[in-house]
Amino acid sequence: QVHLVESGGGLVQAGGSLRLSCVGSAQTFSSYAMGWFRQAPGKAREFIGALNWSTGTIYYAESVKGRFTISRDSAVNTVLLQSNSLKPEDTAVYYCAASTIYYSSSHYYTELSEYNYWGQGTQVTVSS
């Protein structure tokens, strides 16, 4: 069974850096995509970006493109979310997710409903 664990959250100052890690179980190798979402207080869960394992491509939400970077770590089942210019509005619980649902080899995986495995989330608080 796919099991995901996020780590790296905490309290940082505005303008500071973020490095979140999402580590999947061995079964994560069979997933088609891994993605990052965030949920601020009182708001719906928001798509940040996703990595498609089949193509190796990464698709970012337009709202965060340029400030957040998704990358693969040394292990194929480990994905990072990084930023070096955090803002107070980035305060949220950050979630990683994986999908074993096939749509097409180049699917973007931007919707919550397209993922069937989720981590527990990690709190990121950006102070002003």
Band (85; pLDDT cuts 50, 70, 90): very high
Band (76; pLDDT cuts 50, 70, 90): low
What does the pLDDT average to over 76-103? 94
Q: Mean pLDDT across the chain, nearest whole number?
A: 93
67 vs 26: which has the higher pLDDT: 67
Q: Long-range CB contacts (< 8 A, 24+ apart) of 54-59?
A: 54/105, 54/106, 55/105, 55/106, 57/106, 59/108, 59/109, 59/110
Residue identified by tokens 């993922």 is 115
pLDDT reading at 112 higher than 70 = yes
Band (27; pLDDT cuts 50, 70, 90): confident
pLDDT reading at 46 higher than 80 = yes
**Angle, CA 57 vertex, CA 18 and CA 119 arms, to 5°:** 50
Out of 5-14, 34-43, 70-79, 107-116, least confident range: 70-79
pLDDT (0 to 100) of residue 103:
96
Stretch (H or E) spanning 92: strand 92-99
DSSP character for 117? E
